A = this chain, B = another copy of it.
Amino acid sequence: MALKASELEVGGTHTAVLVKDLKRTQLVQYAGASGDYNPLHTDDFYTREVAGYPSVFAHGMLTMGMTGAMLTDYVGDGRLLKFGVRFTAQVWPGDDLEATATVEALREEGGEKLVDLKVSTRNQNGDEVLSGYAVARVDP
């Protein structure tokens, strides 16, 4: 399951579908799992009438969590060392999300092989909703 440095090259990419037709139920599930019960993610009445948004929207951390699952699927278990993102647009119920990791560098640090990845998650319109980077350990 673990990624090998010999399987990677700078510029190589890995893309995965994170979700098709995101459901409000997944936002409720994420609220329960994370403890983030902000009503903007689960209460359409509050979100539209009080807060003035067109509908509930996904926790940024849910988008980050799904993108993180793509990364750990790709690099292997327990190998993700760093992960940082910028939240660039909101994610709405009904959205499809796809994430791409691009190999930016292969390097060694403290006797370990590391890969630097650029990360981008986009919706069905091609709009980027999250951009970031990750660093993971890889086998020789």
Which residues on A are within 8 Å of B, measured CB to CB? Answer: 18-19, 26, 29-30, 32-36, 38, 40, 51, 59-62, 64-66, 68-69, 72, 77-78, 80-87, 90, 132-133
Contacts and interface: CB of A to CB of B under 8 A. Distances in A.
Contact of A40 (B29, B68, B77, B87): B77
B84 A36 contact: no
- Which A-B residue pairs are the 7 nearest by beta carbons? A84-B84, A36-B69, A29-B33, A33-B33, A61-B68, A30-B33, A34-B65
The DSSP consensus for interface residues of chain A is mixed
A62 B32 CA distance: 12
Contacts of A60: 68, 72, 80, 83
A84 B33 contact: no
A63 B109 CA distance: 25
A38 to B, nearest CB: 6
B38 A72 contact: yes
A81 B130 CA distance: 10
B87 A81 contact: yes
Contact of A65 (B36, B85, B87): B36
